[in-house]
Copies of this chain bind each other. A is one copy, B any other.
């Protein structure tokens, strides 16, 4: 006997994960080198060497009872202090250790924020297209997802639509910048306008509306785009961060939440999120890796690696006649399906061993997502397959 909610969840389960599993099966059948799997956002460049040396050092020098033991539910104090200082240096913020709660990745962070602020029936706004898991996270707390439409020209949010859809029940707005699945980075003007609208609506309804900045891709920006930090735009901003992409540690489940002092009910929020970390079953972020990432805050992932893929993929696909949004961040490319029902296009692509994810998995049909956190060879070798796919749809190669 399964619960009603889990039955629904199982029926609508992750299209990304389904494609990932399909890609793995296809690789087993045809050989990994003959399958072009653009499904999962699994970093393709290894964790910095310093992660390894930091772990060696910690295990060598520190007491195993501390390294592997319980600590406060919010995490080791010195780890939280170190991250606060690093953020302050980089972004001119003024955080202390107490403003941070170490979490089981950003997924854990978002869930404990949601548990702390959402009552059943509350509304959580998302900018379409969006990471499909937000739906599951909101459903965990019986909240309702409200989708804001994008401008198709540049996939920035349609801010008139945003303003119109905010209600007295809006408790949170999730922003994912740089964006999964589009690779778009929100402009300063867009962020300022979002802040202005939210401030006005808080005033109008007499409510607190938290802007939840889900930023696992914060450091993955190209073309000279600057890393950004959203607490400086809007006071009621809560940050959910993950080291999954920036340090290539997605399996380790390590991240943090930031609650600035200026956020409404800041102290209570910090306490509530800490309690939620415990009661939702996380208890604390994994201990050894907490200590390891604190030693690696100045480490950087191999951005050149992703950038080379990005350019090769964008230019290659554009030349073949595909319409793509030029990505400036994260490691995703958002491609317009040549047919309205992009599921058909995804199916057709499989014939050429191309694993793509349908846009409707991100609440926005007619497009597909490509995760280019693959080897460079995969990108290059996939082009003959994309050429066949383009031909099937009668696309014309650019001059």
Q: A residues touching B (Cβ–Cβ < 8 Å)?
A: 1-7, 9-10, 13-14, 17, 21, 40, 42-44, 46-47, 51-52, 55-56, 59, 63-65, 67-73, 104-105, 107-112, 115-119, 133, 136-137, 139-141, 171, 207-208, 248-254, 264-265, 268-269, 271-272, 275-276, 278-289
Measured CB to CB, the closest approach of chain B to A286, in angstroms, equals 4
> Judging by beta carbons under 8 Å apart, are B115 and A280 in contact?
no
> Judging by beta carbons under 8 Å apart, are B251 and A71 in contact?
yes
Closest B residue by C-beta to A49: B64
Q: Known interface pairs A56-B56, A253-B284, A253-B286. Does A47 touch B64 (Cβ–Cβ under 8 Å)?
A: yes
> Judging by beta carbons under 8 Å apart, are B68 and A47 in contact?
yes
Residues of B within 8 A of A44 (CB): 65
Q: Known interface pairs A65-B44, A287-B252. Does A2 touch B265 (Cβ–Cβ under 8 Å)?
A: yes
Residues of B within 8 A of A115 (CB): 3, 5-6, 140
> Judging by beta carbons under 8 Å apart, are A105 and B251 in contact?
no
CA distance A276 to B279 in the complex (A): 16
Q: Which secondary structure characterizes the binding site on chain A?
A: helix
> Judging by beta carbons under 8 Å apart, are A68 and B248 in contact?
yes
Q: Known interface pairs A118-B3, A286-B251. Does A10 touch B272 (Cβ–Cβ under 8 Å)?
A: yes
Closest B residue by C-beta to A103: B281
Q: Known interface pairs A9-B275, A119-B4. Does A248 touch B64 (Cβ–Cβ under 8 Å)?
A: yes
> Judging by beta carbons under 8 Å apart, are B275 and A116 in contact?
no
